[in-house]
């Protein structure tokens, strides 16, 4: 079997060859292998120059100052540092946090940990289209609310939250605003001179950079303080100790520099492919788009093929690399919590496939995907007792099932 067609760019992206090539110069004896914290020789100085250039390149994509960028091991660590760091630092001001049920686990689990430490967290329900109603955030705000954490783009359904409006609201109430932007960097414009976002998490590997590196943006004006979660040599102005990995930093910097130069053209091409994919499925019965189609990043399409179970569908389309919201794949029987949170019923949540398109996706890939999906969904529906019942006009939700 040849390699499956990769349509899972929201999970991770391949490192761009230009990025990989640059990274290789920061590892070996004949390259620049120094410790950027070494102050006493050229090896250290050169490594520092490279890391600072990369920091500037990352900052440039989000229109921030390089001094506002803190290197981390990835977006998960950045989320932890932002939420725990701000909650701990400002705990005297209050202990209430607001987030949403559709956030990434890196945010949700961090909030759970803070609850164990005595903080109170409000988990907002999204609307059916996946978007968070600004008035719901406002209604949840209290005098002791210190932090709001809302992601920019959802990893499963690709919907874009109105972080501009949420930022204005938070600033007017003097509440810190954290945004997980792992899925939006390089996909949509992020202008931190304009947006009133205080803390913002980014990852390199969603933007054709290497895994194992990300950053937390920490605003300087007005200055946001966070308590370090990793202690040691006082790197990153005391916010995150640990020797920097110059090859990783340079990789992220180069990836973000390429994204800044090419994202406008690239996203236009990707949107055309996404539209082609959706159009290809037109006319299929019982097909549902999960999440708002307008307020959405160009590369994501999350569809539910009703009455077909996600894992068996993945098996049938194993010449594609996609992901399913059916958590049977992850050994628990719970379907995607994101799809459940937007009110999808169990059948639809179990029947979902996330297609995410990227830099190396072609029209041929999309056309093949359409043909394969149509054929396999039809085959599995012929096997499905639920499809029979649907065709017989039986309302599946009216049946008493014996859940096991």
> Which residues in the 336-355 window bind another protein by CB under 8 A?
345-347, 350
**Of residues 24, 111, 249, 328, which has the active-site annotation?**
328
- Those residues with Cβ within 8 angstroms of residue 376's Cβ, 6 or more apart along the chain or in another chain: 313, 316, 317
3-state DSSP assignment of residue 41: coil
C-beta closer to another protein: residue 230 or 396: 396
Smallest distance from the beta carbon of 326 to another protein, in angstroms? 6
Q: Is 156 in the site for another protein (CB under 8 A)?
A: no
Q: Is 319 in the site for another protein (CB under 8 A)?
A: no
Query: Sheet of 352-356: strands edge to edge?
Result: 287-289, 300-305, 352-356, 323-324
Examine residue 222 and say whether the peptide bond preceding it is cis (omega within 30 degrees of 0). Answer: yes
3-state DSSP assignment of residue 99: strand
| 76 φ/ψ angles, rounded to the nearest 5 degrees | -60, -45
Q: By rule CB under 8 A, what string of x and - marks binding of each residue 99-128 to another protein?
A: ------------------------------
Smallest distance from the beta carbon of 348 to another protein, in angstroms? 9
Selected binder of another protein within 203, 304, 326, 352 (CB under 8 A): 326
Selected binder of another protein within 24, 27, 165, 333 (CB under 8 A): 333
Q: Is 398 in the site for another protein (CB under 8 A)?
A: no
C-beta closer to another protein: residue 182 or 313: 313
C-beta closer to another protein: residue 40 or 400: 400
> Which residues in the 287-316 window bind another protein by CB under 8 A?
307-312, 315
Q: Is 1 in the site for another protein (CB under 8 A)?
A: no
Among 260, 176, 188, smallest CA distance to 219 is for 176
DSSP state of 131: P
Ramachandran assignment for 23, one of left (phi > 0), alpha (psi -120 to 50 degrees), beta (any other): alpha
Among 249, 267, 272, 333, smallest CA distance to 56 is for 249
The number of residues that bind another protein (CB under 8 A) is 29
C-beta closer to another protein: residue 93 or 379: 379
Q: Is 170 a catalytic residue?
A: no
Element of type H or E holding 273: helix 246-280
Smallest distance from the beta carbon of 18 to another protein, in angstroms? 35
Among 185, 235, 237, 209, smallest CA distance to 63 is for 185
3-state DSSP assignment of residue 297: coil
How many Å separate Cα 31 from the centre of its chain? 33
Pull the structure tokens for residue 245: 């990995």
Q: Are 257 and 204 in contact (CB under 8 A)?
A: no
DSSP state of 153: B
Q: By rule CB under 8 A, what string of x and - marks binding of each residue 371-390 to another protein?
A: -----------xxxxxxx--
C-beta closer to another protein: residue 288 or 360: 288
d(CA 213, CA 314): 30
d(CA 25, CA 6): 28
Smallest distance from the beta carbon of 393 to another protein, in angstroms? 15
C-beta closer to another protein: residue 201 or 351: 351
Q: Is 133 in the site for another protein (CB under 8 A)?
A: no
Smallest distance from the beta carbon of 383 to another protein, in angstroms? 6
Smallest distance from the beta carbon of 204 to another protein, in angstroms? 28
Smallest distance from the beta carbon of 323 to another protein, in angstroms? 13
C-beta closer to another protein: residue 26 or 387: 387
Q: Is 393 in the site for another protein (CB under 8 A)?
A: no
C-beta closer to another protein: residue 28 or 329: 329
3-state DSSP assignment of residue 396: helix
Smallest distance from the beta carbon of 223 to another protein, in angstroms? 48
Pull the structure tokens for residue 375: 């054929």
d(CA 222, CA 398): 55
Active site residues: 328
**Positions in the binding site for another protein (CB under 8 A):** 307-312, 315, 326, 328-329, 331, 333, 335, 345-347, 350, 382-388, 396, 401-404
């Amino acid at each position: 079997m040849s390699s499956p067609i990769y349509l899972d760019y929201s999970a991770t992206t391949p490192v761009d060859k230009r990025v990989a090539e640059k990274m290789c110069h920061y590892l070996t004896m004949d390259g620049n292998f120094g410790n950027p914290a070494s102050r006493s020789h050229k090896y250290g100085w050169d490594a520092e120059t490279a890391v600072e250039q990369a920091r500037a390149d990352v900052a440039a994509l989000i229109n921030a100052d390089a001094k506002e960028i803190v290197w981390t091991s990835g977006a998960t660590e950045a989320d932890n540092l932002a939420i725990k760091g701000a909650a701990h630092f400002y705990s005297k001001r209050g202990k209430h946090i607001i987030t949403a049920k559709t956030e990434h686990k890196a945010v949700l689990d961090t909030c759970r940990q803070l609850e164990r430490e005595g903080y109170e967290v409000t988990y907002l329900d999204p609307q059916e289209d996946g978007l968070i109603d600004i008035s719901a955030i406002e209604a949840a705000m209290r005098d002791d609310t210190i932090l709001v954490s809302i992601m920019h783009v959802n990893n499963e359904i690709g919907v874009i939250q109105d972080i501009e409006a949420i930022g204005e609201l938070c600033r007017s109430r003097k509440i810190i605003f954290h945004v997980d932007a792992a899925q939006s960097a390089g996909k949509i414009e992020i202008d931190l001179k304009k947006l009133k976002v205080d803390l913002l998490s980014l990852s390199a590997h969603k933007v054709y950079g290497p895994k194992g590196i990300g950053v937390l943006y920490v605003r300087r004006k007005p200055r946001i303080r966070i308590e370090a979660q990793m202690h040691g040599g006082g790197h990153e102005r005391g916010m995150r100790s640990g020797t920097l990995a110059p090859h990783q930093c340079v990789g992220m910097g180069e990836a973000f520099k390429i994204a800044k130069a090419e994202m406008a053209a690239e996203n236009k091409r990707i949107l055309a492919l996404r539209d082609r994919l959706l159009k290809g499925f037109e006319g299929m019965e019982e097909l549902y788009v999960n999440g708002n189609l307008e307020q959405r990043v160009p590369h994501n399409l999350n569809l539910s093929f009703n009455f077909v179970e996600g894992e068996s569908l993945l098996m049938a389309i194993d010449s594609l690399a996609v992901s399913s919201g059916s958590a049977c794949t992850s050994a628990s029987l719970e379907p995607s919590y994101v799809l459940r949170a937007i009110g999808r019923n169990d059948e639809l949540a179990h029947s979902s496939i996330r297609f995410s398109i990227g830099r190396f996706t072609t029209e041929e890939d999309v056309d093949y995907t359409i043909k394969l999906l149509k054929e396999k969904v039809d085959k599995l529906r012929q096997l499905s007792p639920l499809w029979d019942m649907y065709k017989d006009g039986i309302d599946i939700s009216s049946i008493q099932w014996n859940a096991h």
